[in-house]
């Protein structure tokens, strides 16, 4: 697996959004099936996680996010609100054509902006890499769109948890104030 991993990783930022990557991902899944002695049509979901390796789409996302972390000075960051926080959204490059949205820089920004706030706030490269790898292995995305829907779900869950905690605190204060 590690030999294939090295070949898949080489220059993936440039070719990772290409439609031909599906063929390489099929080969990666075939190797997992061979190692795990799975049936030809049996799903590989969960088996990537058990090996602790990333799917091809996850590897592409990982490399893009490491690139943006290492080269933050190349990206213009903008605050999405007036509150003082450590993280902010990266600004998308201006463009006229939809083709630009397949551009590696554009995809890097899109991935970065969809990350949970706690990962974006990490300043240590080592910690960032570990957290990112852990997230991507846990999500086990089979496509880029699956990653976006999963991370938006994390955001929705985080927001609902925060609302629940805020409501709980309000109820606690109301109970304390009435006694």
**Which among 21, 22, 49 has a CA at the least distance from the CA of 135?**
49
pLDDT at 73: 78
C-alpha distance from residue 54 to each of 18, 45, 74, 134 (Å): 18, 11, 27, 9
pLDDT at 149: 87
90 near 113, Cβ under 8 Å? yes
- pLDDT average, residue stretch 75-98: 57
* Confidence bin at 89 (pLDDT 50/70/90): low
89 near 77, Cβ under 8 Å? yes
165/54 Cα distance (integer angstroms): 33
pLDDT at 117: 85
Q: With pLDDT > 90 as the criterion, what percentage of the chain qualifies?
A: 26
pLDDT at 118: 87
Average pLDDT over all residues of the chain: 78
Q: 86 pLDDT exceeds 60?
A: no
Secondary structure class of 5 (helix, strand, coil): helix
159/165 Cα distance (integer angstroms): 10
* Confidence bin at 9 (pLDDT 50/70/90): confident
Question: Which is more confident, 23 or 161?
Answer: 23
Cα Rg of the chain, angstroms: 20
Q: What is the pLDDT of residues 108-157, one digit of tens each?
A: 888 988 888 889 889 999 999 999 999 999 999 999 889 988 876 555 44
80/57 Cα distance (integer angstroms): 28
129/132 Cα distance (integer angstroms): 5
């Amino acid at each position: 697996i590690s030999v294939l991993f090295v070949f898949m990783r080489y220059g993936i930022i440039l070719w990772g959004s290409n439609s031909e990557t599906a063929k390489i991902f099929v080969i990666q899944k075939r190797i997992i099936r061979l190692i795990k002695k799975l049936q030809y049509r049996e799903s590989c979901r969960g088996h990537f996680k058990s090996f602790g390796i990333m799917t091809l789409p996850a590897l592409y996302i990982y490399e893009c996010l490491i690139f943006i972390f290492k080269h933050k000075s190349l990206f213009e960051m903008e605050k999405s609100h007036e509150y003082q926080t450590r993280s902010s959204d990266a600004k998308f490059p201006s463009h006229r054509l939809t083709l630009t949205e397949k551009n590696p820089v554009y995809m890097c920004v899109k991935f970065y902006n969809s990350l949970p706030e706690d990962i974006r706030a990490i300043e240590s490269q080592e910690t960032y890499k570990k957290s990112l790898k852990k997230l991507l292995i846990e999500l086990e995305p089979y496509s880029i769109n699956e990653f976006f829907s999963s991370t938006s779900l994390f955001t929705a869950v985080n927001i609902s948890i925060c609302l629940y905690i805020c409501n709980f605190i309000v109820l606690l204060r109301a109970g304390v104030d009435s006694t």
